Amino acid sequence: MGDDWMIQPVGSGSGCWAPAADVYRTPQGWLVKFDLAGINPSELELERSGRHLVIRGVRRDVMVHAGLQTYSLEISYNRFERAVGLPCDIQSTSLSTEYRDGMLLVWLNDTSGRSGEE
Amino acid sequence: MKMQDTQRARDNNQDMLDTESGRQATESNGGADAEKKAAEDQLPWKEAVLPVLPLRGSVMFPMMMMPLAASRPASVAAIEAALASEDKTLIVATQLDPSVEEPEQQDLFEYATVSVIKKAERNNEGVSLIAQGVLRVRIEKLVRKDGYLQAHFAPAPVACEKTEEVEALRRNVVELATKIAEHLQGNAPAAVGQILTQVTDPLELAYLLASLMGLSVERDRELLAANSCEEVLRLLIDYLSYELKVRELQMEIASTAQSEMSREQREYMLRRQLEAIRRELGEDGSEQADLVELRRKFEEVELPENVAQEVEKELKRLERMSPNAADYQLTRTYIDLLLELPWNTVTPDNLDLEHARAVLDEDHFDLETVKDRIIEHLAVMKLNPEAKAPILCFVGPPGVGKTSLGKSIAKALGRKFERLALGGLHDEAELRGHRRTYIGAMPGRIIQAIRRCGTRNPVLMLDEIDKLGRDYRGDPAAALMEILDPEQNREFHDNYLDLPFDLSKVFFITTANSLDTIPAPLLDRMEVLTLSGYSSEEKEKIARRYLIPRQVAEAGLKPDQIDITDEALRYVIRGYTREAGVRNLERMIGRIVRKTAKRIVEGEPTPIRISPDDLPDILGPERFTPEKARQQLRPGVAAGLAWTPTGGDVLYVEAVDLGKGGKLTLTGHLGRVMKESARAALSYLISMAPQLGLEREHLENASVHIHVPAGAVPKDGPSAGVTMATALASLFAHAPARADTAMTGEITLSGLVLPVGGIKEKVLAAHRAGLKRVILPKGNEKDISELPEEVRQEMEFIFAERIEEVLAAAIPEMAQRKPPITLV
């Protein structure tokens, strides 16, 4: 450890963790898929900001209520935040979400009829 | 992968800084506002009390990820409690004293960081975690419950406003960190560089650098206690500059040590190469051989103890020295000098009086007083070998043989001879040498001469001691005083030598043309022997005995091939030279001999006879009209005698009566003393006019002009007094002085004639000029004995005590007209 560990880029600014995301091109616009299992959707917040799609939220470990003792821990809990950059402005797109199999799918459809940047 | 994604998202945020929403996103990333909001409104943890993990020896900063290992039961219990919560939070607090096993509130630092456990793993010792700081808090109350510490706390986010000052401080930090990174080993500099460019949030950057630099816990704590981003940055700058200084110093020490090493190594390598080159050139170890040779010499010569010690010391120094050192040659030269100087070497004196006399007579004509003095000294040396060597001073006109006499003395004594020309010498250091510290320092001339001789009892001739200069560099005459004082020169101190050298056995001879310019104290140390000029007859003998044979031999002729008649020789002496010595005479003879040699080579039958008639063809027209006595003198003219450095001369004093006016005009480049003696002569005549048969009134009113040719030659001295008086008396009496009579002598107002110097030269001059009668002061009667016998025979001397006697002897008419009246 020591210096080797120290010089790794550490943490996001506010001490949040960031979920992984895939971005797809769709005929109507964009599909952004977040790896967000174990989330209470009511604790999610999505925001379109220029070319960025920002997601914030909290993941809580609900197992503790069953009185179980953690033996080892690898999954990140607590607050997370992630901004996904897209090649074009998404301010005016329509946004719809679906929570499927532990993945959060976010569709961004071009309402002006124009698809994103070629 | 996750990290990279995060990174990219943040980079994109950076790109979008100019848009409103972009700014918001950034702020929510790390801004204090957002955290505050999070802390106050939507705390991610529901509990108001959190478990506390005491940390030994380090500080958890907000936003930093840190590996932790817990083994103490209380710590493990705290972690268990955190893991049992929904959001895995706990407070990481730093222990003030790391040695306390079970810390209580007073043992923990007041500021701590709420952290989220990212990863946890159990092992034999306890639990290891990776936790990330989230928010700075102040612990308000600490209780121990369920076996671990629990804290009531208040959020204390660090205020971070993006002011210009903060930005300036941030840049400062980056600059310092970059410099420090340069001193780091391995890939650390690159990694630090990456962080510095990637992390833009000043607070995060500060905390990150603090963790990276491995500051002391105290400093980490101070950073955590800082309430604003600005304060954090300022503290960090302090720490970093200190760190930079320390590291630079460290580098400097390391590099000096290294360069010292490499310089020595380089020298060693070069030396080895040089050795190899030498071997290749066949100059194997020349320095070594040099030193061995010096050592050998040192062991051979016998040196006084103090000198041997000095040589030993210097030799040792030399052996240790690199041959390329600047001092090497200096030291070598010095040792050479010490070894070469004749500390104990003396030549045995030849004390055979007969032999000495023969040698002196062989080389020099006459000069009896000097020769006698040398013989006397030899006699003394025979009786007392420890006698001090005399210090002689030969005074005389040029060309009388002072220098060659010195050589003869050395030859007679069997000693070495060295000559030092002091003419124009004006630097004391020339005699005494320079201290060895000066570049180009050399021993003085005295020591150099001794070294050349190789003995410490040579005859050392100091030529032209009357022409010593003197300026701001010192007075060589003063240095000579030490050298020429038998009491002091036993321990003569040369600046270069720096060891006393005994000069007391050196036979010093100095030469001078005149004694006037020799400082009195110096003159006092020497025994003055005067070599006066030679008479024509002496010159003739010298020419016959020495000059002609020498010149004939030099021209490659045989003595019987050339015959210079006596008349021709006399004509050369009188008509072609005018000197006290014989230098010009020898030159003229040389010319005659060479012209003759040419004729012989051209085939003329020998012997070739040279008569006076041949001389104008050989030497050109007569140079000097011999000072012939004027056949007849007009009234008002009298012949005087003068002494010059080149011998004596006849001077005619001429006086004319310019009628009334009572003025006395004196011309002929006369000095003050001479002018005064003219006035005295006139005053005396006026006062004694009746007794001398002159008209007093006429004398009182007369204007007189006195002139002494030749007008361009400066003249001075009182010895023309009688001549002036005679000329004036002859003028006023209208009676001419005798043409065959010359005179010299000083007069007083009461009419006395006082003795003067240079009688021999003066009488010789009169003799040369063909004047047969000379009037001299009575007081100079004794000097007649110095004259050559034949001159004495040929001349008539009149010794006068009073002016009247002079006038009677010089002006026959006056003697007849009035008998001289002697006044008391």
Catalytic residue among B115, B408, B719, B730: B719
Which two tokens mark B56? 């030994």
For residues B309 and B425, the model is more confident at B309
Partner-chain contact A77 B134, CB within 8 Å: no
B31-155 topology per CATH: 2.30.130
At which residue do the structure tokens 């903060």 appear?
Answer: B166
The C-alpha atoms of residue B729 and residue B732 are separated, in whole angstroms, by 5
How sure is the predictor about A105, in pLDDT bands with cuts at 50, 70 and 90? Answer: very high
Q: Is B638 helix (H, G, I), strand (E, B) or coil?
A: strand
Note the Cα B696 to chain centre separation in Å: 70
| Residue ranges making up the domain that contains A91 | 16-62+73-109
Cβ distance A85 to B29 less than 8 Å, yes or no, reads no
**Chosen CATH of B536-619 out of 1.20.120.1460, 3.10.20.30, 2.20.25.90, 1.10.8.60:** 1.10.8.60
| DSSP states of B107-144 | GB-SEEEEEEEEEEEE-SSSEEEEEEEEEEEEEEEEEE
Interchain CB distance below 8 Å, A83 and B25: yes
A63 reaches B (C-beta below 8 A) = no
Give the pLDDT score at B93: 92
Size of interface A-B (CB pairs under 8 A): 153
Contact partners, residue A84, CB within 8 Å, separation at least 6? A21, A23, A32, A52, A53, A54, A55, B9
Assigned domain for A6 exists: no
What is the DSSP code string of B706-738? EE-SSTTS-B--GGGHHHHHHHHHHHHHT-PPP
Respond yes or no: is residue B719 known to be catalytic.
yes
Contact between B724 and B704 under an 8 Å Cβ cutoff? The reply is no
The answer to whether position A88 is within a domain reads: yes
Interval B602-649: pLDDT, tens: 888 878 888 888 888 888 887 766 556 677 888 888 888 888 766 677
Structure tokens at B420: 């030092």
Q: If we measure between CA atoms, which residue out of B518, B526, B528 comes closest to residue B476? A: B518
Q: From the candidates B86, B91, B211, B215, which should be mutated to test the interface with A, based on the most A CB atoms within 10 A?
A: B86
Residue of B nearest to A14 (CA): B30
Q: What is the CATH number of the domain that holds A97?
A: 2.60.40.790
Is the CB of A66 inside 8 Å of chain B's CB atoms? no
B113 to chain A, any CB pair closer than 8 A? The answer is no
Helix (H) or strand (E) holding B809: helix B803-810
Q: Is B507 helix (H, G, I), strand (E, B) or coil?
A: strand
Nearest residue to B7 (alpha-carbon basis) of A11, A38, A102: A11
Q: Which residues in B630-651 are b (16+ Cβ under 10 Å) and which e?
A: eeebebbbbbbbbbbebbbbbb
Closest CB to A50: pick one of B19, B67, B115: B19
Q: Percent of chain B, pLDDT > 90? A: 3
Mean pLDDT of A48-65: 86
CA pair distance B335, B262, nearest whole angstrom:
34
Residue A103 Cα distances to A26, A80, A98, B336, angstroms: 18, 15, 8, 102
Query: What average pLDDT does range B347-374 have in this prediction?
Result: 83
Inform me whether the pLDDT recorded for B5 exceeds 50.
Answer: no
User: Mutate which of B46, B132, B160 to disrupt the A interface (most A C-beta within 10 Å)?
Assistant: B132
Asked if residue A1 belongs to a domain, the reply is: no
* Cα distance between residue B140 and residue B160, in whole Å: 23
Query: Any CB–CB contact under 8 A between A6 and chain B?
Result: yes
pLDDT bracket for residue B15 (50, 70, 90): very low
Q: Please check whether residue A18 touches B, CB under 8 A.
A: yes
Pairing relationship of beta strands B664-667 and B647-660 according to DSSP bridges: unpaired
pLDDT of residue B561 exceeding 60, the answer is: yes
Q: Do A64 and B84 touch (CB under 8 A)?
A: yes
When CB atoms are compared, the residue of B35, B118, B122 closest to A76 is B118
pLDDT range class, residue B362, cuts 50, 70, 90:
confident
The per-residue pLDDT for A34 is 92
Chain B residue numbers touching A1 (CB-CB < 8 A): 67
C-beta atoms of B63 and A18 within 8 A? no
B9 touches chain A (CB under 8 A): yes
Phi, psi angles (nearest 5°) of residue B509: -125, 130
Residue at A85 is within a domain: yes
Tokens for B491?
């321990």
Query: Class for domain B637-817, per CATH?
Result: alpha beta
The residue type at A49: S
Give me the DSSP letters along B268-335. HHHHHHHHHHHHHHT-TTHHHHHHHHHHHHHHHS---HHHHHHHHHHHHHHHHS-TTSHHHHHHHHHH
What whole-number percentage of chain A has pLDDT above 70? Answer: 81
3-state secondary structure A63-110: HHHHCCCCCCECCCCEEEEEEEECCCCCCCCEEEEEEECCEEEEEEEC
Q: Are B47 and B85 in contact (CB under 8 A)?
A: yes
Flag the least confident range among A72-76, B258-262, B610-614, B791-795: B258-262
Q: Do B63 and A14 touch (CB under 8 A)?
A: yes
* Beta carbons of B17 and B23 less than 8 angstroms apart: yes
Query: Do residues A7 and B191 lie in contact, with contact meaning Cβ atoms separated by under 8 Å?
Result: yes
Which residue in the set A10, A52, A58 is minimally distant from B64, CB to CB? A10
Give the mutation candidate from B7, B118, B121, B197 for the A interface (greatest A CB count, under 10 A).
B118
Burial of B691 (0-12, 13-18, 19+ CB in 10 A): middle
- Is the minimum CB–CB distance between B124 and chain A shorter than 8 Å? no
Integer Rg of chain A from CA: 17
CB of B692 closer than 8 Å to CB of B814: yes
Number of domains, chain A: 1
Residue B761: the pLDDT is 81
Burial B292-317 (b: 16+ CB within 10 A, else e): eebbeebeebebeeebeebbeebbee
Tell me the per-residue pLDDT of B66-118, one tens digit each, with 9 for 90 and over.
898 888 888 998 998 888 888 888 999 999 888 888 888 888 899 999 998 98
A67 part of a folded domain: no
Q: Which of B380-384, B385-389, B636-640 has the lowest mean pLDDT?
A: B385-389
- On the question of pLDDT at B167 being above 50, the answer is yes
Q: Do domains B353-530 and B637-817 have the same CATH topology?
A: no
| Mean pLDDT computed over B504-514 | 87
B675 tagged catalytic: no
Domain-wise residue ranges, chain B = 31-155, 164-246, 286-340, 353-530, 536-619, 637-817
Which band of pLDDT confidence, cut at 50, 70 and 90, is reported for residue B186? Answer: low
Q: B18 falls in which pLDDT band (50, 70, 90)?
A: very low
Please give the Cα distance from B337 to B315 (Å, whole number).
Answer: 13
Identity of the residue in A51, A61, A78 whose CB atom sits nearest the CB atom of B44: A78
Q: Is residue A3 part of a domain?
A: no
Does the domain at residues B353-530 carry the CATH identifier 3.40.50.300? yes
The answer to whether ipTM exceeds 0.90 is no
The residue of A32, A35, A65, A70 whose CB has the most chain B CBs within 10 angstroms, and thus the best one to mutate to test that interface, is: A70
pLDDT of residue B47: 63
Q: Reduced to 3 states, what is the DSSP secondary structure of residue B364?
A: coil
**Position A79 in a domain:** yes
Return the residue matching tokens 């043992």: B107
